[in-house]
Structure 1
């Protein structure tokens, strides 16, 4: 009989991105924040204190194009970032090193999680590949919190919004559109979702 395949634990990184448009390349990721949400192994999920391991950078814009409405959401100043923002290559290389160091210390593989992951992952993965040459999460190491909730709640995905979730799942932190603040808030949500058994099966 072949030996059982060892399953490596996952370390979940809550990531939030603030950008000035809908897609990377024509538009810029202006800031991103990350926080370690927790670790999952064969025994189950263990939440972390998300404030213990965090990363935040503001970036120099990579193009002249932007969508004013998207820029207004973040409250960031593109002209200031042209002068003070980190070079994307340096920022993504520093982020990659941080993810790898934290994951190695935990003996786990890194997984990005977001709400919704589609937007944040698109920018994060594109920037990692374009400026660092590789992604510590691989090409598919991401988990969408909206999908996770929809599956556990038995709801259609497009019906899911935070405002309809049970209040005990939501973070007590404010959603500020500062990338690190929102990464911390979403780390709380992720840990609550990971330990939630579904409607009627958990205690508020």
Structure 2
């Protein structure tokens, strides 16, 4: 079965999964040929006992539209995570989690998967029913390696808007996931074209 990427962006109210809450997340499934296979979006209720981080909330005060998108009509976090798992499984193939950077968004998804499904983001090949079939992909690192840019130059503020499919980085999770999906398509397909005879 062909592999595909689940490009994911998370929004949260603090830096530490569990101590703080993931507000929302969005994912775009992209085939290995660059075709969009589907999208997923969830707005989650805060975790019991979690608190909001003052520094993060100061940022959100500058982003009122994104804050509204990240907090309106939330569902229980466990229900949202289970919907996500079912959505990924419904696509078939061999899903690969991808984020920009994976060390940020991957930590949140890993924490929520562990908490609400008892399974981590990535499991070894000896686990036959694992959700993601291959190690997570860091799109930021892929851009750095493909373009020769320094890691510090691999952020949305340094990218031409066309690299993101001309999608503005709004801090609404699904918008940002769409932009990163376009970035992955651009980099992955150009690498593939350079590799193929």
Normalising by structure 1, what TM-score?
0.76
Q: Could you tell me which of 113, 132, 151 is aligned with 1:128?
A: 113
**Aligned-residue RMSD, C-alpha:** 2.5
Compute the displacement of 1:191 (Å): 0.3
Q: Which deviations, in whole Å up to 9, do the C-alpha atoms of 1:176-197 show, x marking residues without a partner?
A: 1111111111111110010224
- Please say if 1:146 is aligned against 2:140: yes
The structure whose Rg is larger is 1
Aligned length: 176
Question: Whole-Å Cα distance in 2 between the matches of residues 77 and 15 of structure 1?
Answer: 16
Question: Whole-Å Cα distance in 1 between the matches of residues 7 and 14 of structure 2?
Answer: 21
Q: Does the 8 Å CA contact 2:9/2:173 hold for their aligned counterparts?
A: yes
Question: Whole-Å Cα distance in 2 between the matches of residues 168 and 75 of structure 1?
Answer: 25
1:28 aligned residue:
21
Q: Does the 8 Å CA contact 2:23/2:44 hold for their aligned counterparts?
A: yes
Pair 1:77–1:196, CA change in 2 (3 A)? closer
The answer for unaligned runs of 5 or more in structure 1 is 1-7, 40-45
Within 5 Å, give how 1:1-204 maps onto structure 2: 9-39=2-32, 46-49=33-36, 53-62=38-47, 63-71=49-57, 72=60, 73=63, 74-76=66-68, 84-102=73-91, 104=92, 108-134=93-119, 135=121, 136-137=131-132, 141-165=135-159, 168-197=162-191
2:125 aligned residue:
none
Q: Which deviations, in whole Å up to 9, do the C-alpha atoms of 1:117-136 show, x marking residues without a partner?
A: 21110001110111112242
Question: Whole-Å Cα distance in 1 between the matches of residues 146 and 14 of structure 2?
Answer: 32
Q: Does the 8 Å CA contact 1:33/1:183 hold for their aligned counterparts?
A: yes
Compute the displacement of 1:9 (Å): 3.0
Normalising by structure 2, what TM-score?
0.79
Question: Whole-Å Cα distance in 2 between the matches of residues 192 and 77 of structure 1?
Answer: 27
Question: Whole-Å Cα distance in 2 between the matches of residues 30 and 101 of structure 1?
Answer: 24
Q: Does the 8 Å CA contact 1:18/1:29 hold for their aligned counterparts?
A: yes
